[in-house]
Amino acid sequence: MLRLAIAGDLHGQWDHHDDALLEQLAPDALLVVGDLADGDVRLPRRLRALQLPVACILGNHDAAKDRSGSTIARMEQALGSLHCGWALRLLDPPGLAVVGARPGSAGGGFHLSDAVKAHWGEMSVFESAERISAAALAAPKDRPLVLLAHSGPSGLGSGAADPCGRDWKRPARDWGDQDLQEAILRIQRQRPLPLVVFGHMHHRLRQGQGQRRTIHRDRHGTVYLNAACVPRHRVDPQGNPLRHFSWVELAEDGEIRLVAHRWYGPQGELVEDQMLLEQIRLRC
């Protein structure tokens, strides 16, 4: 069984409590969905120092306000081999294939920011989809495959509360990425895809619209998890620090056994445990 900890959009929130918690929980791998620290390279360096397998994808905020591409280039360089944009990263151990989607995405279908174009170049939606799917189809078929994206795919619903739904402006609409959706369709024709993990669209909806639906399963059995619990640091009524990780347990044969959003106390105690697989079972 592979135990995966997933950190939603960090926005600078990573400290010694997170380091200590990971040491205590000892997941098999950590996946980080981007928007790390507004271009501050100290955070990627900190992720690199962790003593466990880590995979990361950069988000739209990782360019900061720098349209030249140099800030996002520095962030990618600071992450080194942890960054998996359009690439396959084999985590071995524990025996997991992680493929990154298009880095720097702000969602909204297919839009390349000036920073993304400056650093990674122009490309079409189909070229990006091809790069994602080619990386995924190069993964050994005997390893479970996870797609790691900043923005999730289009096709998961057009309501404000859907996993990639636009909530900050009416009318609500599907704000997912079309290249990722196309890549997923191509991959699913060739091999099982148990899990797609992403962030960007925060769980708490704007304008008092409540909480986002954060899990979805499609007809192929692929589970989609929005891990963007923002902020992921808070304190309990006694002032103790609480930290959020999403948590997935994945069997070696690719079956998803557990998906949860979890808040942990300073000693590693589980203080909130929102089990998500049950939500999609109830809808089936």
> Pattern of binders to Fe ion over 10-49, x per CB under 5 A?
-------------------------x--------------
For Fe ion, give the closer residue by CB, 53 or 199: 199
Number of residues lying near Fe ion (CB under 5 A): 4
Pairing, β 241-250 against β 233-235: antiparallel
- Taking the complex as a whole, the smallest distance from the CB of residue 27 to Fe ion amounts, in Å, to 23
- Taking the complex as a whole, the smallest distance from the CB of residue 239 to Fe ion amounts, in Å, to 30
Out of 74, 102, 119, 200, point to the residue binding Fe ion (CB under 5 A).
Answer: 200
For Fe ion, give the closer residue by CB, 28 or 35: 35
Rounded to whole angstroms, how far apart are CA atoms 48 and 46?
5
> Pattern of binders to Fe ion over 174-193, x per CB under 5 A?
--------------------
For Fe ion, give the closer residue by CB, 59 or 155: 59
Q: Give the footprint of Fe ion on residues 126-145 (CB under 5 A).
A: none
For Fe ion, give the closer residue by CB, 5 or 201: 201
Rounded to whole angstroms, how far apart are CA atoms 129 and 183?
5
DSSP symbols for the chain: -EEEEEE---TT---HHHHHHHHHH--SEEEE-S--STT-THHHHHHHTSSS-EEE---GGGGTT-TTSHHHHHHHHHHGGGB-TTSEEEETTTTEEEEE--TT---SBS---HHHHHHH----HHHHHHHHHHHHHTS-TTS-EEEE-SS-BS-S-SSTTSTTB--SSSSP-B--BHHHHHHHHHHHHHS---EEEE-SS-SBPSTT--B---EEE-TT--EEEE---SS-EEE-TT--EEEEEEEEEE-TTS-EEEEEEEEE-TTS-EEEEEE-HHHHHHH-
Strands of 145-148's sheet in order across: 88-91, 96-100, 145-148, 195-198, 223-226, 215-217
Out of 7, 11, 54, 60, point to the residue binding Fe ion (CB under 5 A).
Answer: 60
For Fe ion, give the closer residue by CB, 181 or 226: 226
- Taking the complex as a whole, the smallest distance from the CB of residue 13 to Fe ion amounts, in Å, to 14
For Fe ion, give the closer residue by CB, 198 or 264: 198
- Taking the complex as a whole, the smallest distance from the CB of residue 76 to Fe ion amounts, in Å, to 16
- Taking the complex as a whole, the smallest distance from the CB of residue 61 to Fe ion amounts, in Å, to 5
Asked if 262 interacts with Fe ion (CB under 5 A), we say no
Out of 8, 39, 59, 165, point to the residue binding Fe ion (CB under 5 A).
Answer: 59
For Fe ion, give the closer residue by CB, 59 or 163: 59
List interacting residues with Fe ion (CB under 5 A).
35, 59-60, 200
